[in-house]
Amino acid sequence: MDMLWSGWGDPAQATPLPETVIGLLRDLLGVKPAATAPVTLDEIPVPESPLTGEALAALAGAVGDEAHVRTDAETRIRHTRGKSTPDLLRIRGGDVTDVPAAVVLPASHDDVLAVLRACAAHGLALVPFGGGTSVVGGLAPERRRPFVALDLRRMDGLLALDPVSRTATLQPGLRAPHAEALLAEHGFTLGHFPQSYEWATIGGFAAARSSGQASAGYGRFDEMVLGFTLATPEGTLEAGRAPRSAAGPDLRQLVLGSEGAFGVITSVTVRLRPLPRTRVYEGWRFASFEEGTAALRRLAQDGPRPTVLRLSDETETLIGLAQPDAIGAPDAPESAGCQAIAGYEGTAEDVAHRRELAAAVLRECGGTYVGEEPGERWAHGRYSAPYLRDALLDAGAFAETLETAAFWSRVPELYAAVREALTTTLTEAGTPPLVMCHISHVYENGASLYFTVVSAQGEDPVAHWAPVKRAAGEAILAAGGTISHHHGVGTDHRDWYVREAGPLGVEALRAVKRRLDPAGLLNPGVLLPSD
């Protein structure tokens, strides 16, 4: 099943906002219904593919059948850009300036190499396409030449499983729920559940350094990767002979997070965990975000660490965004203070032991236990936020997210700086916002902050957001944060990433790019500026 072309996920799961929420948006933020309705799929004028007959024949030969090279309007629209709010606003307005010239569906590593050769021969750029869930412009290359979207959905198998080593080798187009189902048949799980889980792919997780909502217990996806196979215009690169090695710099870390700019990941070997026998999610309350942050730091540094550990600030708790399914509900929980979610997965004995010890720490830090109901509601609605974002857009509001991370000592400053940048910039533009934040991932040495912004759209919503995004990016770097913790770089964060990496670091990455992709055909302008 394809994602909704003009929004997130499965259209059957979309839920309109309650009238009470629409009224609050109108009264508090000045949100008005959009002046014009979004275009329909068949109303979008898509130009004919610019590919020559020779180029199309070469691509068909690379994947073995012309049926796996698609140039119809609908397929190309569905592969245009990703799912950020600006992406959706542009496609809803009929803007397909980033439409691929064709969509190519390989079935193997050799197919991918052949497609790369065909692209090089005919002067085409190429963008790897997994679940299409990018929210940072990662699927919209600089348009200096036609490009093809390499849809990896046919490469969706479990290639190998080693129960002794607890590893599995997966193909890149395998969607996360299918991967979990295949691994569960053998008693294992990846434990990787980002908000994009229902639609994202294994290759996308690796290419963007994804981080799941249970990262406190299972780790980030880049920590799970033990090896990979990469198809590049210059040949095949493989890495990962052992779980750890002192044999020089780790090439795995070079490719993880490269967002298709260095090559196409065609297989990923990951470590596995046994399926948990027990799962418990519970809620806690703190009087302030500062108090709750200190409690999370205690658990992250000294343990015991829950599998899931999150903290919403006062505004996010008040609105109920920590439990999207509860927004606007008459039985919404008491919302004073800050809500934390602690989740535990494992054996019954392990879960009980960690819960007891963690509860003692949380109480000592000022937390109040509020039962399992908030935790279970969070777990039930953990993938609902993108649908809520779409409902807000439908109602005429602007809703977007951004995230960052810093060392614990810098987290308070980072939180205040980004919040101030978002609030001030939007207020001065005539659209005072609602700014919410939560700590989404914790580490021994720091944490990530995930912001959600809701405001009126302004006359031109995409142009209206651009200076706000710039102000937030500047605030992040000035406060010592990273420009992205798990969304990635794409084109949206590229200029700040260049500053974060520094001139010498960028030149080193350019040298890698030139060696693996000398013609610059892979995702041009994504991650690094084009030469």
pTM of this structure: 0.95
Q: Of the residues 197, 281, 450, 497, which is catalytic?
A: 450
DSSP-assigned letter for residue 67: G
In a domain? residue 261: no
| Domain termination site, one of 116, 151, 186 | 151
Torsion, Cα 404 408 414 416, to 10 degrees, reads 130
Instruction: Show the domain range for 291.
Output: 278-380
In a domain? residue 507: no
pLDDT exceeds 70 at position 450 = yes
CATH number at residue 354: 3.30.70.3450
Q: Residues annotated in the binding site, as ranges?
A: 128-134, 259-265, 389
In a domain? residue 342: yes
Active site residue 450: yes
Q: Do 316 and 436 meet the contact criterion of CB atoms below 8 Å apart? A: yes
Other Cβ atoms less than 10 A from the Cβ of 2: the count is: 12
CB-facing half-sphere around the CA of 174: CA atoms within 13 A: 26
> For the chain, what percent of residues have pLDDT higher than 70?
97
Q: Summarize the confidence of residues 134-146 as an average pLDDT.
A: 94
In a domain? residue 91: yes
Q: What is the largest CA-CA distance in the chain?
A: 71
pLDDT exceeds 90 at position 208 = yes
| Domain termination site, one of 326, 352, 380 | 380
Cα separation of 370 and 285, whole Å? 7
Q: Summarize the confidence of residues 499-517 as an average pLDDT.
A: 97
CATH number at residue 80: 3.30.43.10
The domain tally of the chain equals 2
Predicted confidence (pLDDT) per residue in 71-81, tens digit: 999 999 999 99
User: Which of 16-30, 95-109, 172-186, 515-529 shows the lowest per-residue confidence on average (mean pLDDT)?
Assistant: 16-30
| Domain termination site, one of 380, 396, 423 | 380
CB-facing half-sphere around the CA of 197: CA atoms within 13 A: 21
Q: Residues annotated in the binding site for FAD, as ranges?
A: 128-134, 259-265
Predicted confidence (pLDDT) per residue in 298-318, tens digit: 999 999 999 999 999 999 999
In a domain? residue 514: no
Other Cβ atoms less than 10 A from the Cβ of 64: the count is: 13
Predicted confidence (pLDDT) per residue in 318-375, tens digit: 988 666 555 544 444 455 799 999 999 999 999 999 999 999 999 999 999 999 999 9
Q: Summarize the confidence of residues 469-493 as an average pLDDT.
A: 98
pLDDT exceeds 50 at position 119 = yes
In a domain? residue 472: no
Q: Residues annotated in the binding site for substrate, as ranges?
A: 389
In a domain? residue 339: yes
In a domain? residue 130: yes
